[in-house]
Amino acid sequence: MLYPRVSLYALMLAAAGIPLYIHLPRFASVNLGIGLGVIGTLLLAIRLVDLVQDPLIGWSIDRWPGAQLMFAIMAAIGLAVGFPLLFSLPEDASILSLVVILILLFSAYSLGTILLYGRSATLAKKPNSAELMRLAAYREGGQLAGVIAAAGAPALFVAIGAEAQGYPAFGMFLGLLSIFTILLTFPMWRRTPITGQGLSFAGLGQAGALRLLTLALINSLPVAITSTLFLFFVEDRLQLPGKAGPLLILFFLSAGASVPLWAKLGNRIGPKQTLIIAMPLSIAGFIGAAMLPAGELTGFAVICFASGAALGADMVVLPAMFSVVLTRSGLNASAAFGIWSFAGKLGLALAAFFTLPLLERSGFNPGQSNSVQALETLNLAYAVLPCVLKLGAFGMVLTLPTEVTVK
């Protein structure tokens, strides 16, 4: 039951991440009446908190290894309290209220994520490369299941009669899921923790971890941008109202189905070669999305399927590579994954900070009639810019040494 519990905890975190990174911009702009530029600035400001907080969380987990159960409970309680508060905010809520709740949620999400990834060697049945890749497949499979559940939940709640676009019911659902998860995952946090040596930039550099951190940041930017703009692209650029939820589910179902395949391929031919196969799928998807006419549901569904499969490789291979490098070098994994977590969230914040004000300046208004220029700007931000960034990440993968392997 160890790995299924890992999957469940990852499911909880992923279900929490989706509303923070996909639903939040639209909820805040439509339900709370906050401008897109303000939302982007707020998300970047909260990332400045993470700049200090995430590495400190990782250090704390390594400093008190016997407290991992307490940390897991704290993360779940933060999510259980924060989401009902967030999605029950009234239209006249102050920005300060929103900021306080978001800091609580992002802090709880960070704590749970860093704990789960930083304890990879502890949670694996054996701290070797093959088991770390197997653990990663269960963990990312659970994450993708959580993403699928959260992606379509608001629409489902609306269908059964929930008010305010389903968001208050969604918040209660996420709170209950967090409580349920921590009750069922108690045993996995009682395993004896495996720790390593203290971190330094020199140690990370010698192990090759800094190179992987840079790759993770660059590679996170394309999916960060598309996550931030997905609802806008589907409903406003493609003019497919009501189709965003099913398309998101298709995207993540494809990613989830591909995870075991990428994990097996990574163990067989190595992670570098696996990414070389997977990344061109993403690049092709961005090119295809940029060229789609309005109303093209089938074409975009094919793109979601292909790019979802490519995301599965990113999710399972890159964290496993990082875990292997840290384990082989005997470095403290939680502190390192604190930096890893910050790099990923920095990508999301940068995506919101640069793309949302850009759309606002172009005159883009979600859910309303938009000019050709505004829709062209949305197309450029959603498809063209991520394509360029993904090409940069692909170039970095090509330069990785072949000895960065999990075999």
What's the whole-number mean pLDDT along residues 155-178?
Answer: 85
- For residue 198, pLDDT over 70 is answered with no
- For residue 404, pLDDT over 50 is answered with no
Q: Can you give the pLDDT at residue 333? A: 65
CA 230 – CA 286 distance, rounded (Å): 12
CA 302 – CA 247 distance, rounded (Å): 10
CA-based max dimension of the chain: 59
CA 282 – CA 389 distance, rounded (Å): 11
Q: Which residue has the tokens 């208004």?
A: 365
pLDDT band at 134 (very low <50, low <70, confident <90, very high): confident
Q: Can you give the pLDDT at residue 8? A: 95
Question: pLDDT higher for 388 or 93?
Answer: 388
- For residue 406, pLDDT over 50 is answered with no
Q: pLDDT tens digits, residue range 57-75?
A: 888 888 888 899 999 999 9
What's the whole-number mean pLDDT along residues 326-353?
Answer: 73
Q: Is the dihedral of CA 153, 157, 163, 168 positive or negative?
A: negative
Give me 78's structure tokens: 């933060």
Least confident stretch, 280-289, 292-301, 324-333, 372-381: 324-333
CA 338 – CA 25 distance, rounded (Å): 25
Q: Can you give the pLDDT at residue 201? A: 63
Average pLDDT, rounded, for the chain: 85
What's the whole-number mean pLDDT along residues 380-391?
Answer: 94
> Half-sphere exposure of 35 toward its Cβ, with a 13 Å CA cutoff?
10
To the question of domain 2-398 being in CATH 1.20.1250.20, the answer is yes
Q: Can you give the pLDDT at residue 407? A: 40
Instruction: Delimit the domains of the chain by residue range.
Output: 2-398
Per-residue three-class SS string for the chain? CHHHHHHHHHHHHHHHHHHHHHHHHHHHHHHCCCCHHHHHHHHHHHHHHHHHHHHHHHHHHHHCHHHHHHHHHHHHHHHHHHHHHHCCCCCCCCHHHHHHHHHHHHHHHHHHHHHHHHCHHHHCCCCCHHHHHHHHHHHHHHHHHHHHHHHHHHHHHHHCCCCHHHHHHHHHHHHHHHHHHHHHCHHHHHCCCCCCECCCHHHHHHHCHHHHHHHHHHHHHHHHHHHHHHHHHHHHHCCCCCCHHHHHHHHHHHHHHHHHHHHHHHHHHCHHHHHHHHHHHHHHHHHHHHHCCCCCHHHHHHHHHHHHHHHHHHHHHHHHHHHHHHHHHCECHHHHHHHHHHHHHHHHHHHHHHHHHHHHHCCCCCCCCCCHHHHHHHHHHHHHHHHHHHHHHHHHHHCCCCCCCCC
pTM of the model: 0.71
Q: pLDDT tens digits, residue range 238-283?
A: 999 888 878 988 888 898 889 888 888 888 888 889 999 999 999 9
